[in-house]
Amino acid sequence: MRYRRGFIALSDERDVPMLLAIRNARAITCDQICTLLLNNGTEKCRRSVLWRVDRLERNSLIERIDCGRLLSEPVFAITRPGLELLELRGHALLSLPATTREIVRRSQVLHSVELAAICAALTQAHVLISWQWELEVLAQNLVYGGECTKDFDALVEVSDGNRVKSFAIEFERTAKGTARYGDLRKVLDAANGVDTILFLTPDPSILYLLAVELRSVNKRIGLALSRAFRSSLLSTNVLSNTSANDVVTFREFLFG
């Protein structure tokens, strides 16, 4: 059988999972793609991942994002043709349809890459059971009026080897104003389906700002530096929103 010129034959077992990973993350580095796909069994070797990334890029299903000098490695996002292809394969996402005018904003790139780094770290440590990206949470809420009434950055399940626990992740890259934190407290108090939230930030001053602003929220909230969490994961020291602002490991905080 001969294919028409310009046609690309895609594998549901190999190409589609890669496109889904890139779409759901919004923006993701090449190393992060390798980590996710190699550890979930989709791919067997890094060389194969890099070949597939190059092939999808050459066929305009994914594209590189210009990050200037901010990041040392290529960052990829899905394109409109990539979204159209996923929709044809039965993988439509209401929160990011192919008709979307702007697939990823420049202001979202660093935020998305850091979340992908956190996901990759949990995956590589073999403690991650499941990870729902913000786009998936948003789509679920739009379609089903989901249990989780806030569009968290991620909904996560992890295991310590014996027990499995779920929690939400929020990544706070920059500080908000006082009024915004007032609104956030109301949203968190009203959020259904989630009782434990991990706030991560790159900046110690933002961490302590969050500790003050979120002290009264009626959820269990842990706060940690994102770099420390990527390095230590369940062993990371987190600051809790208890009246005493206890500092415990994330394992103790989560599994109690």
Going along the chain from its start, the domains and CATH numbers come out as 9-109 (1.10.10.10), 125-256 (no CATH)
Taken in order 15, 21, 26, 30, is the CA torsion positive or negative? Answer: negative
What pLDDT, on the 0 to 100 scale, is given for residue 2? 47
Other beta carbons within 10 angstroms of residue 180's beta carbon come to: 11
Written as one letter, the residue type at 77 is: A
Q: Which of 66, 78, 85, 93 is nearest to 23 (CA)?
A: 78
Global pTM reads 0.92
Q: Which of 201, 43, 232, 35 is nearest to 120 (CA)?
A: 35
What pLDDT, on the 0 to 100 scale, is given for residue 8? 76
Contact 19, 82 (CB under 8 A): yes
Higher-confidence position of 135 and 143 = 135
Average pLDDT (38-49) is: 93
On the question of pLDDT at 147 being above 70, the answer is no
Quote the percentage of the chain above a pLDDT of 70. Answer: 95
What pLDDT, on the 0 to 100 scale, is given for residue 120? 98
pLDDT band at 242 (very low <50, low <70, confident <90, very high): confident
Lowest mean pLDDT among 30-34, 65-69, 182-186: 65-69
